[in-house]
Amino acid sequence: MTDNNNNNSAISSSHPKTVLTYGTFDLFHIGHLKMLQRLKAMGDKLIVAVSTDEFNALKGKRSVYSYEERAAIIAALSCVDLVIPEQSWEQKAQDIQQYQVDIFGIGSDWKGKFDELADLCQVVYLDRTPSISTTEVKRALSNLDSDKIKQIKDGLDSVLSIVKAIE
Ligand code: C2G
């Protein structure tokens, strides 16, 4: 009996506590990083399923960076141990079983959406980082462009008015 217990403890200690999450991770920002770091802190191994461009289309998203670029950025993070493609809504249960996942974690914007996975592993919803999102980053970039263009145009207009004045 004792040996068996020892065997069990030996088996459980050899299996790294595995955390799994999913996302698009476009225009990678601090909200994404904090989420991944907090998820990694919950276990020993973090697997991130990055949405493919095709699956993004199903989600109604068109990312600036391609799947390959987004996956490469995520894979380069020290807190990430494995990157896999997210190709469908339905793959989560199979991924959890295939990778012997202990915890499925995702942002609070998905709260309640994946509760059915609690039959397979612990399900956690972590608060999102406020006031940052890929949409915000896109908006800031587009505003920057228009602000910059207006600044340059104003400068040219004043030069033009000086030229006209001395003609
Ligand atoms: N996130 C966050 N704080 C933010 C923005 C995002 O914590 N300010 C989290 C999200 O809650 C999510 C992860 O970062 O857990 C990735 O966010 P997205 O790239 O927007 O991914 P999403 O579209 O939510 O994809 O099957 C699940 C989907 O693929 C999740």
Q: Which two tokens stand for residue 152?
A: 């340059």
Domain at 15-166, CATH class? alpha beta
Give residue ranges with CB within 6 A of ligand 1: 22-25, 31-32, 35, 51, 59, 86, 106-107, 109, 128-129, 132-133
Whole-number Å distance between alpha carbons of 67 and 107: 20
Pairing of strands 18-23, 45-51: parallel
Q: Give residue 138's pLDDT.
A: 87
Whole-number Å distance between alpha carbons of 84 and 94: 13
Q: What are phi and psi of 19, to 5 degrees?
A: -115, 140
Which atom belonging to ligand 1 lies closest to the Cα atom of 130?
A: 8
Whole-number Å distance between alpha carbons of 35 and 114: 17
Q: Tell me the residue ranges of DSSP E strands in the chain.
A: 18-23, 45-51, 82-86, 103-107, 122-126
Q: Which of the 8 DSSP states describes residue 118? A: G
Return per-residue pLDDT of the chain as tens, 167 residues: 344 455 555 555 688 999 999 999 999 999 999 999 999 999 999 999 999 999 999 999 999 999 999 999 999 999 999 999 999 999 999 999 999 999 999 999 999 999 999 999 999 999 999 999 999 888 888 887 778 888 989 999 999 999 899 88
CA 151 to chain centroid: 35
Q: Give residue 9's pLDDT.
A: 53
Give residue 131 CA to ligand 1 midpoint distance, Å: 13
Mutate to test the pocket of ligand 1, among 25, 91, 106 (most ligand atoms within 8 A of CB): 106
Q: Give residue 8's pLDDT.
A: 52
CA 69 to chain centroid: 13
| Domain extent listing, the chain | 15-166
Number of other CB atoms surrounding residue 112 within 10 Å:
8
Nearest CA to ligand 1 atom 22: 23
Q: Give residue 3's pLDDT.
A: 44
**Cβ contacts of 97 within 8 Å, gap of 6 or more:** 120
Q: Tell me the residue ranges of DSSP E strands in 8-166.
A: 18-23, 45-51, 82-86, 103-107, 122-126
**40 assigned to active site:** no
Q: Which two tokens stand for residue 142?
A: 């587009």
